[in-house]
Structure 1
Amino acid sequence: MSKNIFITGTGTDIGKTFVTGLIVKKLSQSGRNAAYYKAAMSGNSRGGDGNLIPGDAWTVKSVSGIAQPLGEMCPYVYELAYSPHLASRIEGNPVRLQVVREGFEAVCRNYDYVTMEGSGGIVCPVCFDEAKIQLEDIIRELKLSCLIVADAGLGTINDVVLTWEYMRSHDIPVKGIIFNHFHAGNVMEEDNRRMCEYMTGLKVLACVKDGDTELDIDADELASLYE
């Protein structure tokens, strides 16, 4: 039986996918059989054959170096860079919870540590017209605990605390925070770290700097977060 965790962010374009790649890389290079999964990806380009390339999955695969096939990583891939509920309204193929669950369970049968990435921030409508599915519905369906990825810069105290408060009020378990775009020694960012820890009670588990190729956390400590 695999151990799993869910990666959410304080918003879109904060580097959640890159950080997820570093997480998977750390596990894989420590000798653990690690894999990646995401329910729905938007904003993807087409390859020479006209098929959509799952960009986030490709990024994680490139950063981590894992051999997992792209076809296992995401059941729903959209071209338009919109929330999945809107992209699927325009392109078709709306997200079905059963399909997401079956794909996730298939990955869990073949790998020991599965890192699942969310779409955008925690309040993301994944499907709206055919069924009302929020990102949190997927987290509950798969019984996952979470990590929050946040930008280290200005405004992150508000973003982190609001994300955590929403998750807490909706009974979504959170294991900790990872800062991205961090500049060691920067007075504001160092204070952001302290304030986020104080105001949420969560630990900032790692700080990722631009250009980092490794996640600054012990592999055993990272693995212990998975359930």
Structure 2
Amino acid sequence: MSKGLFITGTGTDVGKTFTTALIVKKLRENGLNAGYYKAALSGAEKIKGKLVAGDAKYVCEVSGITDGPESLVSYIYETAVSPHLAAQIEKLPIEMNVIDADFEQMKTRFDYVTVEGSGGIICPLRRDEQTIMLTDVIKRLNLDVLIVAPSSLGTINSTVLTIEYAKQSGIAVKGIILNGYMEDNFLHVDNKFQIEQLTETPVIACVPKNSNDLAIPLQVLTDLFKEI
């Protein structure tokens, strides 16, 4: 049976894709059949008339996944806005049954599936005659979440709010990864302490800027994944 983990962040551009790539890389370097999936990606670059799933492409390059990046993403939009708005502009609404089917396929291809979200945890994927929020996808796929947060000023507020929202939505939070962490920065050190105290959620890894490895024991990492 496959195992899965959902990666969300405290906002946009906090390092979700960077961190996700390191997770998949560590699993694969240790001989595990690990893969990647993303339900919706917006802001894709068009090269020679073809949309390139940038986040998936980056994860594949870092982790060594040889599958085509576009096969790992259900919906790819060129417009660089929230997925729900990109879907409206490009007239390609997100359907939950497509996500279901694609995720089932990922489970047959990989033993460990790391699922990356879009934006922060409060991200609308569809807002027309029906509403699909990112939290709906997390619950539909029956996944727990790992939260990526920046180490800098303001992260206490955004991380605590993200965790509280997840809990209120009935989603289990397995841990936090602080991105851009500097051990000699007193603010970063205190942010880590305060976040753990206020949320009662462990910071499982602190990732320095431009790191090429996730400093976490393999067993601790694999224990974050849930049977799906």
Q: Secondary structure at the match of 1:52?
A: strand
Conserved? CA contact 1:72–1:107, under 8 Å = no
Partner of 1:11: 11
- 1:219, distance to aligned residue in structure 2 (A): 1.2
Deviations 1:104-150 (A, max 9, x none): 11011111000000000000000111420000000111100000000
Contact 1:27-1:219 at 8 Å conserved across structures = yes
Report matched runs for 1:1-227 at 5 Å: 1-48=1-48, 50-227=49-226
Shift of residue 221 of structure 1?
A: 1.1
Contact (CA 8 Å) 2:52, 2:70: kept in 1 or not? no
Give the number of the structure whose residues are more often strand, by fraction. 2
**Paired amino acid for 1:10:** T
Residues 17-43 of structure 1, C-alpha deviations (whole Å, 9 max, x = no match)? 010000000100011000000000011
CA distance, structure 2, for counterparts of residue 153 and residue 219 of structure 1: 27
Q: Stretches of 4+ moved more than 6 A in 1?
A: none
Question: Which range moves more in the overlay, 22-31 or 60-69?
Answer: 60-69
Give secondary structure in 2 for the equivalent of 1:75: strand
CA contact (8 A) 2:3 2:113 kept: yes
Structure 1 residues not aligned, in runs of 5+: none
CA distance in 2, matches of 1:70, 1:62: 9
Q: Distance in 2 between the 1:120 and 1:81 partners? A: 12
Partner Cα separation in structure 2 for residue 71 and residue 41 of structure 1: 10
- Return the alpha-carbon distance in structure 2 between the equivalents of residues 186 and 193 of structure 1: 11
CA contact (8 A) 1:94 1:130 kept: no
What TM-score, normalized by structure 1, do the two folds share? 0.98
State the 1:215 CA deviation. Answer: 0.4
SS at match of 2:11: coil
Distance (whole Å) between structure 2 residues aligned to residue 145 and residue 212 of structure 1: 25
Q: Distance in 1 between matches of 2:69 and 2:188?
A: 35
* Secondary structure at the counterpart of residue 185 of structure 1: coil
What RMSD over aligned residues (CA atoms) do the two structures have, in Å? 0.8
Q: Deviation per CA, 1:51-108, whole angstroms, max 9, x where unpaired?
A: 1000110111112122232232101000111110000110111110010110011011
- Partner SS state of residue 17, structure 1: helix
User: Any gaps of 5 or more consecutive residues in structure 2?
Assistant: none
Identical columns (%)? 49
